[in-house]
Structure 1
Amino acid sequence: MSELTGTAATVVLLRDSDAGPEVLLLERPTAGSFGGAWVFPGGRVDPADRAEGEAEESAAVRAGVRETAEETGLALRAGDLVPLSCWIPPENIPRRYQTWFFAAKAPAGDIRLNPGELLNHRWLLPAEALDRHRNGLMQLVPPTWVTLHSLTADASADAALARIAGAETETFRTRSLAGYEPVTVFAWEGDEEYDGAVGGVGGSAGGSSIAASDASLPARHRLVMDKTFWRYERTR
């Protein structure tokens, strides 16, 4: 088992629009981490973000506030951040950062991108961002995609934050499933193949909906990725 490289923080900034809550996405340069992808503001936890004896999540909160200011010019306070999820990458990648995701209502102010680190920004409805990804107009990575998918039904930024605050902070410890090639399948706890008890059996990957909870269905908690056509399946 490969060790984690470190800890990082990501902040999902939300603002209201006439069509529903929008999120802020930033375009990364083609060189470097997440090259060419559109991501939420965030970055690594630095030594200055840490306090002795403190929980790792607290350091991630400080890093989220700092990185948001550095990357966007928007000022947040630690109390503005609502814990959303924690993502741990598959073991077969060389640099594995445990990344805490937080949600926050965007403060007033213009976006001022950090030159050299970011190319562009967009405020988009979550469903719009997913459509852009599916149509090849926006590159997303799995944690961003799944997070956007989880926000598509919220009616407002406040409603999204209230829902997130009332839910348990979920850890997505990612495992890659074999036997579905050329489709890529990532699984998380709750999927019947997560512990390797059941081999991959292939399957369709054309949509993007979450499967309804049904005790008669195989236990699923996975993201099926066929080129730009991705589908999040969760039956429990």
Structure 2
Amino acid sequence: MESPIVGRAATVVVVRDAEAGLEVLLLERPVAGSFGGAWAFPGGRVDPEDSHPDDPEEHAVHDEAFSAAPAAVRRAAVRETREETGLLLAESHLVELSRWVPPARAPKRLTTWFFLARDPGGEMLLSADEHVDSAWLRPAVALERHAAGEMVLFPPTWLTLHGLAGAGSVEDALGSAPRPAAHFASYQLLDADGRIEAVLWAGDAQYGDPAAAGSGRHRLTISRLPWVYERT
């Protein structure tokens, strides 16, 4: 049974240039709580105060053809980053990267927009209630730690890091952001025991129908480490 979309969320991939190359900011969530024990980018749910009376109509927010992030989502991205890290971002500096719709079986389905933003500098102050650690890492290093079982990641975080692994600098990352933003409506492929074998997206032959024939692949196999991404 498909669970309804119950709201919206914003995630910000904060990046900076370092001696070894591009680094991203990752935050470790507490074991007890949402995304328990996982490393994730700053972000959170869109709150009522993020919406303004003069905002444009948002009736098409969940339509796949709707590509631009609503103003309320951008405000939430800035607010959540400030609350979680103390970093002060400008809405105008957010580059829309992707939009994610959780699988139908997910218990709490929030359409989530991912943004890319340059590190604004300044002191970082973690929200003690929401995070237990932080790290600036090259995307490839984070993926290596995940493959070794040293870091917990969720598929949207993993795939975002995978996409940034080839960027040599902040300018490279910002310049290669897809236009329009990528759209990922996730579908879970289950094994015979009902466990999640892979997450599929549009373009995969079995997307929406595990019995379908065809060789096209657009999936992330997560049944064992290391995870394997295929797109043909």
Q: Distance in 1 between matches of 2:215 and 2:129?
A: 46
Partner of 2:27: 26
Q: TM-score, normalised by structure 2?
A: 0.89
Q: Pick from 178, 181, 185: which aligns with 1:169?
A: 181
Partner of 1:223: 220
Give CA-to-partner distance per residue, 1:69-122, whole Å, 9 cap, x none: 000000001001000001111111211111000000011112110111110100
CA contact (8 A) 1:42 1:68 kept: yes
* 1:226 CA drift (Å): 2.7
* 1:17 CA drift (Å): 1.0
SS in 2 for 1:177: strand
Give CA-to-partner distance per residue, 1:38-57, whole Å, 9 cap, x none: 00000000001112453452
CA contact (8 A) 1:29 1:118 kept: yes
Q: Report the more deviating stretch, 122-131 or 226-235.
A: 226-235
Do residues 120 (structure 1) and 121 (structure 2) align? no
Q: Distance in 1 between matches of 2:29 and 2:196?
A: 25
Partner of 1:203: none
Which amino acid counterpart does residue 46 of structure 1 have in structure 2? D
Give CA-to-partner distance per residue, 1:198-231, whole Å, 9 cap, x none: 359xxxxxxxxxxxxxxxx921111001333101
SS in 2 for 1:103: strand
Do residues 80 (structure 1) and 111 (structure 2) align? no
Q: Distance in 2 between matches of 1:111 and 1:192?
A: 44
Query: Is the alpha carbon distance of 1:183 and 1:32 closer, same or farther for their aligned partners in structure 2, counting shifts above 3 Å?
Result: closer
Tell me, which stretches of 5 or more residues in structure 1 are unaligned?
Answer: 201-216
Tell me, which stretches of 5 or more residues in structure 2 are unaligned?
Answer: 62-68
**Structure 1 residues 1-236: aligned runs within 5 Å:** 1-52=2-53, 53-54=55-56, 55=58, 57=69, 58-164=71-177, 167-179=179-191, 184-196=197-209, 198-199=211-212, 218-235=215-232
Q: Distance in 1 between matches of 2:97 and 2:27?
A: 19
Report the RMSD for the aligned CA atoms in angstroms.
Answer: 1.7
Q: Distance in 2 between matches of 1:168 and 1:232?
A: 22
Q: Report the more deviating stretch, 105-114 or 173-182.
A: 173-182
Q: Distance in 2 between matches of 1:180 and 1:161?
A: 41
Partner of 1:206: none
CA contact (8 A) 1:192 1:198 kept: no
Question: 4+ residue stretches of structure 1 with deviation over 6 A?
Answer: none
Q: Distance in 2 between matches of 1:86 and 1:68?
A: 18
Partner of 1:205: none
Which amino acid counterpart does residue 228 of structure 1 have in structure 2? L
SS in 2 for 1:226: coil
Query: Is the alpha carbon distance of 1:111 and 1:170 closer, same or farther for their aligned partners in structure 2, counting shifts above 3 Å?
Result: same
Partner of 2:64: none
